Amino acid sequence: MRDYSSNTAASGMTESKKSLLSLGSNLGNPKKNIRLAVQKIADLEGVQALRESRYRKSKPVGGPSGQAKFINAAVEISTTLDPQELLSAILEIEQQLGRERKQRWDERIIDIDILTWDQTVQSSPTLTLPHPRMPLRRFVLEPVCDLVPLDRHPETGWTYARHLEHLTHAGNYAVTFRNTNQSPTEAYLRLSQNDNVLVAQSIPLAQSAAELGHVFGRLKQWISRYEQDVFLLCDFAPRECLIQHPQLAAEVATQESSLPLPRLLVFLTDNIHNESRHQLITQIMPDEIIAPWLFLDINDTDRLHQELEALASCHL
């Protein structure tokens, strides 16, 4: 790891905040690209200090096939820039280094993402903090754990080391909550054509302990039959019953104890920036966080399919 100091620090400036950034490159000379980007970040007015992780290789997640492997790194900075100012500065650095945006998740000379900015939690069309896919990606978490393994994720409260451990030990499946009247049928049909993914059929919402036992029984069957071979996307979530029947929380916990926990909870919604989303999370996980989550827009079929397909391999 390397430390950078900036000459911009001065008394009387706005209070500095810690921010974590993720960097990746798989075009040209990736290590050189990242080194240049890191130096440009360290030289930004408003960045007082920077620490850099080790570099790692990773397979591309999502996007077009045939891409070269990525080199990934993370940096922790101390900055007086607010999140939007930092985002603007990062986009400018990407442009300076020749980033061209042709297709989502395509090959790139440099990619810089803001993972966290202090303990800020926000969701908007321009910037979501913390980065929504941060807990799902090993190539992000491993560099972060080089720097701050015991720091806590602003939303889940887990340490980054625990998030990394979860990717290793969680079940090879996800459960979905439909916080919308829309249907993901088209995206599911396209997803079912992937040999590495299986979409498990929907199961009615449990209304009692007996019905909950049936739901978990079916989940156990799906996991025992397929988990070692494919990623299992369940078109149901046993915990969804807690929205209407919070008294079943103890029974849910008992049933879950006999299973590997899901890798993540997928919330399908027609408003991913809804301010009430955290109330929903609290209803579903009233006692403790059992897994990270991801909100996905059900109305954009192409992107929904891309996101769901990427979940099958993003932990590798």
Any idea which residues carry the catalytic annotation? 99, 108, 111, 113
Amino acid at 95: Q
Mention every residue, 6+ apart, whose C-beta is less than 8 A from residue 162: none
Rounded to whole angstroms, the Cα distance separating 82 from 120 reads 11
Rounded to whole angstroms, the Cα distance separating 60 from 72 reads 11
Asked whether 32 and 285 are in contact (CB, 8 A), the reply is: no
Pairing mode, if any, of strands 122-123 and 128-129? Answer: antiparallel
The three-class DSSP label of residue 52 is: strand
Asked whether 145 and 163 are in contact (CB, 8 A), the reply is: no
**What would the two tokens of residue 139 be?**
């190539």
